[in-house]
Structure 1
């Protein structure tokens, strides 16, 4: 796939985020229960993103005695993961909706594993900070 072709595919995917009626032009309408389940999954991903973003702000605001590098690093890890999670939510929703309409297998993703690893790494870092104390 050429660079232009990849960019064009990405642009089309993002366009579908904001013009979902174009998805209806593909395939046939799936059972509404599956579409609603897809939407509930989307909302669960958004709740996860909001929790990560809230955790990032909490680390920054409520741990002022934590060394600056630790505080900023942990906060940015959580905030960045929250942003990626929210973007992944809408991308996944579109991909699943299109697959259902086309009668294809549902798309697979490494993102849940990546998200789990990032959260685990941040949790271990926080455990280290708690065990060693956080005063600079």
Structure 2
């Protein structure tokens, strides 16, 4: 397969072909981020759909934040995959995730919102 046929070409035309095991591990990490996105979205929908007798405004805020985080997570997955693949192809150290800290903070905020919603219900 030629490099032009591989997507995204701008990643694959850099450097040398890395060991397939590293490329496959990078792909598994991408898929783990996608599963995380699905879980965040499902959690946000479930939190709002089930109600659970929580304080409504806090429950809605937590649900919306989970869904927004779930929408941002595939961006992290794609950017992270591309950065890691480029680093592998250039024999450079792997970069840190771009959005991991904001996502972690967002999940912590959701936890506080849900805790308050439980206490104030």
- The interval holding the TM-score normalised by the smaller chain is 0.7 to 0.9
CA RMSD, 1 decimal: 1.9
1:88 aligned to which of 76, 80, 85:
76
Partner of 2:100: 112
The question of 1:19 aligning with 2:7 is answered: yes
The question of 1:57 aligning with 2:45 is answered: yes
What CA distance in whole angstroms lies between the structure 2 residues aligned with 1:58 and 1:71?
A: 11
Partner of 1:45: 33
| TM-score relative to the length of structure 1 | 0.76
Q: How many residues align?
A: 116
Query: Alpha carbons of 1:120 and 1:71: their partners in 2 closer, same or farther (altered >3 Å)?
Result: same
What CA distance in whole angstroms lies between the structure 2 residues aligned with 1:109 and 1:49?
A: 15
Secondary structure at the residue paired with 1:106? Answer: coil
Q: Which runs of 5+ in 2 are unaligned?
A: 1-5
Partner of 1:123: 111
Q: Which runs of 5+ in 1 are unaligned?
A: 1-17
Q: Tell me which moved more, 73-82 or 59-68.
A: 59-68
Secondary structure at the residue paired with 1:91? Answer: helix
Q: Tell me which moved more, 124-133 or 76-85.
A: 124-133
Contact 2:58/2:114 (<8 A) preserved: no
Secondary structure at the residue paired with 1:57? Answer: helix
- Deviation track 1:91-126 (CA, whole Å, cap 9, x = no partner) reads 110111011101122112352222121111111211
Secondary structure at the residue paired with 2:102? Answer: helix
Structure (1 or 2) with the greater helix fraction: 1
Partner of 2:3: none
Deviation at 1:70, TM superposition (A): 2.2
Deviation at 1:29, TM superposition (A): 0.4
| TM-score relative to the length of structure 2 | 0.85
